[in-house]
Structure 1
């Protein structure tokens, strides 16, 4: 895609045993989506259904209930979701595993009858490598498929608008101020960083608005999924997903449960090839480790964080990193709740703090550092000010969901904090 590139920062996870094991688990979680979803969703429910008294399951098999027909429909929707999951698997395999194998290796592993089916070829190699997804990675794969609803469906604009529109509004205001101060500067000369880029929609929207933007993501699940949608999809509406179908609770009707959404709502490559766009890139790795480096000092005009800062075990490390990579006078725009992702972590006293992953005393392991703390919004804002930022705007109570089924009997809403801080 013109104006878009991916950076792996010269690290090959296949050459690190621990990282390779994790990478293969992530790949296998997408590869196994179809099988696991059928088993956990419809197979178990059919078995439970037939355990009912025969008079009861016979009644419920007939209209207007037709429970067995509903389970058959649910199987079809699982297959539709699985098409996306398997496309992510194939894109991830090509990016991470395929470059480390030659054709002779592959030929010795893959049965000839599968030679022209990329999914079967890649799957055979995965079996050869001993790939096995953990339950946690399986859950992340399921969530990642559902996240396409929020970031890449037209219906997800409700959530995106609540979270992304304030970011884009501040960027537009900042650009106007800079034009008044510095003259006719171009938007593409403003460099924006988006840590925790997820599936890449905010990065894409910022680039589409004309700015140069770099997304950063540490999750292999998100990296593979965002690469698929940004680089490898051929058209809008290429896939159809049913993000709420696998949860069988709190539905008003089967039609609500089985509603499908076409993704992506736009074709990123086509959109970014039109008009005068900025540059777009993605980096892979720990935000703290990567952007604390001297080469990133004063590199960005704006850092935009959405539903991100509460992923920090130690929020001070995030603040220090943002300060390092922001130019003097640059902006930090933040929107999100404080659903702290790390419970208090107690380190085994027999394990030295510098023994994790073979870390030396001089090696920064970023969010893998020991310890964690959970602060209130007021405390976070005070810390930001303590480290040399001036709060220019602060709003509370911005209501938004996160992959919320608007037709569900259960609604969850975040009342997000939104603030803009300038580095002094």
Structure 2
């Protein structure tokens, strides 16, 4: 009989290798896309090609941008095999991965692109406007709920599910609170490991694809803008006694202990569940009596259009009543908050969400002995 744990570990290794392979394939995949455009360009009438001289130069610039991005990806993947205890580092080395077993698919390449764009949202100056709208209200509310003149901030425990690349977790911890981020996506975990634990000692440039009309625009930006070029450790910026951590895994499986957290902060997260009620129920369970849940985001419902996934998609009006039924008490609420997610501010196409912001409290139950 084959041990189920061995099978599970082997599947995890293959999944990990697949994602590392997707990162490694970024350069080839991107060059293939540009090559198709260049091939088509060379078939156009000569007078058209002459008129497209600057466009041809633009494609050369894109080549350079892809190279720069790939240099950053190589930094991200350096020593990534040490992330998990059941992964042999050599099994994630691009020279030792058995390519025949791992064929990068288009959806994985899209996730690599999405991860690079997340760097812009979380760790660049260009992402500051989005962070101000989406992260700052949450940070401000935590400070308001747990003022430092009344609370020992380092003893206030805050959980951020769906933490992505960890910027919101970092901002909360920087205020002196003990904050833990939770993330399920291996794409995000690999990238956040780089930005949070393997800090670069000099500022890196990363370039990512933006679209304006029919052109591909690449924007150079500096990420990790919060760090001084001589600083390579987060401890310098976070109060010594506060705790800052990231935990990998499924939110519903990792967090099952009752009455553990003072605050749960969700940002663009609760609609990532097949059954959003399971998230609400879990949040209520893990909060301490009197604890608060702060939420900001839309209801995009990630699984609603996936043919191989089941999903329910209640409206916010329905969800509000459901949240109350679980026992939460609404203290603050604001709808129609215009918010964006990893958008290029210079693009002619802008996606904007009508997000909802609310603060709910888990009541303190008082038992009366009769």
Say whether 1:230 aligns with 2:196.
yes
Say whether 1:50 aligns with 2:21.
no
Deviation at 1:381, TM superposition (A): 1.5
Q: Which runs of 5+ in 2 are unaligned?
A: 364-370
Alignment of 1:98-177 (within 5 A): 100=88, 122-127=93-98, 130-176=101-147
Name 1:113's counterpart in structure 2: none
User: For residues 75 and 232 of structure 2, what CA distance do their matches in structure 1 show?
Assistant: 17
Alignment of 1:321-360 (within 5 A): 321-343=282-304
User: For residues 165 and 232 of structure 2, what CA distance do their matches in structure 1 show?
Assistant: 15
Deviation at 1:168, TM superposition (A): 0.7
| Higher RCO, 1 vs 2 (CA within 8 Å, ≥6 residues apart) | 1
Deviation at 1:343, TM superposition (A): 1.9
CA RMSD of aligned residues (A): 2.5
- Among 194, 207, 210, the alignment partner of 1:242 is 207
User: For residues 179 and 226 of structure 1, what CA distance do their matches in structure 2 show?
Assistant: 33
Taking a change above 3 Å as real, the CA distance of residues 236 and 398 of structure 1, as seen in their structure-2 partners, is farther
Alignment of 1:31-70 (within 5 A): 31-40=24-33, 42-61=34-53, 66-70=54-58
Superposed CA offset, 1:22-43 (max 9, x none): 2111111111111111111x11
Taking a change above 3 Å as real, the CA distance of residues 395 and 269 of structure 1, as seen in their structure-2 partners, is farther
User: For residues 31 and 275 of structure 1, what CA distance do their matches in structure 2 show?
Assistant: 33
Deviation at 1:266, TM superposition (A): 2.0
Superposed CA offset, 1:126-150 (max 9, x none): 1378333222111101110111000
User: For residues 250 and 45 of structure 1, what CA distance do their matches in structure 2 show?
Assistant: 12
Deviation at 1:291, TM superposition (A): 1.1
User: For residues 345 and 250 of structure 1, what CA distance do their matches in structure 2 show?
Assistant: 28
Deviation at 1:382, TM superposition (A): 1.3
Structure richer in helix, relative to its length: 1
Name 1:29's counterpart in structure 2: 22
Name 1:419's counterpart in structure 2: 358
User: For residues 85 and 192 of structure 1, what CA distance do their matches in structure 2 show?
Assistant: 31
**Secondary structure class of the residue paired with 1:406:** coil
In 1, are the aligned partners of 2:160 and 2:180 still within 8 Å (CA)?
yes
In 1, are the aligned partners of 2:304 and 2:310 still within 8 Å (CA)?
no
**Secondary structure class of the residue paired with 1:126:** coil
TM-score of the aligned structures, taking structure 2 as reference length: 0.89
User: For residues 38 and 191 of structure 1, what CA distance do their matches in structure 2 show?
Assistant: 46
